[in-house]
Amino acid sequence: MRSGGDGALLQMAGVSKHFRRGREVVAAVNEVDLQVAAGEFVSVIGPSGSGKSTLLHLAGGLDKPDAGSVTVDGQDIASLSATGLARLRRRQVGFVFQFFHLIPNLTVSENVALPLLLDGGRPSNDRVAELIERVGLAPRARHLPGELSGGEMQRAAIARALVNRPRLILADEPTGNLDRATGNEILTVLEEQVSQSGAALLMVTHDQAAAGRADRTLSVVDGRLTAPRPRPAKRA
């Protein structure tokens, strides 16, 4: 895989996105510059409506900026065709959504294997089983989403996001619907993917404790990123 300049796997330069609210034009993301290196975990914290989710959608090519550029693993996503962009998202980007987006009539195993099928490949049963085991869902592998708890559905969604070994992981409030213990377990799984595979992880959250586990944390207010927040010293 190609890497972005200076080792950055995700680069956002002067990125802005505006929405119209009646007669008012709102800058959901406002002239954002952001780099996330391979093997780095970056969190972006801010209240609801501050532009966090829009930032994540722009980073993963789910939305197009009004200005600026987004580069993922050396590829300017604005230069890609619709087919090329879909291929990039399937193969190099793993999305973890707050509300799971599991297919209700597919089992856990089938949901996890879905990105491999959509990419035209033959799902690796070993890879699927490995991830389901890692997120603690082996006994629930043949269950449908409606038979799972919220925490179990989030675990399944994370396994699905990681099955293609993505270079970039984008997590939108991954602990938002979970209790503290389950949320910590979910973050550990994501951190392992970063450390073991060299993926880049960008997480947006309003949870200060979750954000504090990142290598660095930024704040977003009215669509603008602030300087990195200092991390508290770790206890020996």
Of 21 and 152, the structure prediction assigns the larger pLDDT to 152
Structural domain harbouring 206: 5-225
Of 228 and 45, the structure prediction assigns the larger pLDDT to 45
Record the pTM.
0.86
User: Is residue 124 in a domain?
Assistant: yes
User: 157: which residues sit within 8 A by CB, 6+ positions away?
Assistant: 96, 97, 100, 101, 102, 111
**Own/partner long-range contacts of 225-233 (Cβ < 8 Å, ≥24 apart):** 225/32, 225/33, 225/34, 225/44, 229/45
| Stretch 1-19: mean pLDDT | 74
Average pLDDT, the chain: 86
Q: Which residue has the tokens 């973050």?
A: 187
- pLDDT value at residue 230: 53
Q: Are 56 and 172 in contact (CB under 8 A)?
A: yes
User: Is residue 230 in a domain?
Assistant: no
User: 229: which residues sit within 8 A by CB, 6+ positions away?
Assistant: 45, 216, 217, 218, 219
User: Is residue 182 in a domain?
Assistant: yes
CB environment 46-74: b (16+ within 10 A), e (fewer)? beeebbbbbbbbbbbbebebeebebbbbe
User: Domain of 39: which CATH number?
Assistant: 3.40.50.300
Residue 121 has pLDDT above 60, yes or no: yes
Of 111 and 181, the structure prediction assigns the larger pLDDT to 111
Rounded (10°) CA dihedral 57, 58, 61, 63: 80
Provide the domain count of the chain: 1
Residue 234 has pLDDT above 80, yes or no: no
Q: Are 172 and 199 in contact (CB under 8 A)?
A: no
- pLDDT value at residue 214: 95
User: Is residue 165 in a domain?
Assistant: yes
* Distance separating the N- and C-terminal Cα atoms of the chain: 37
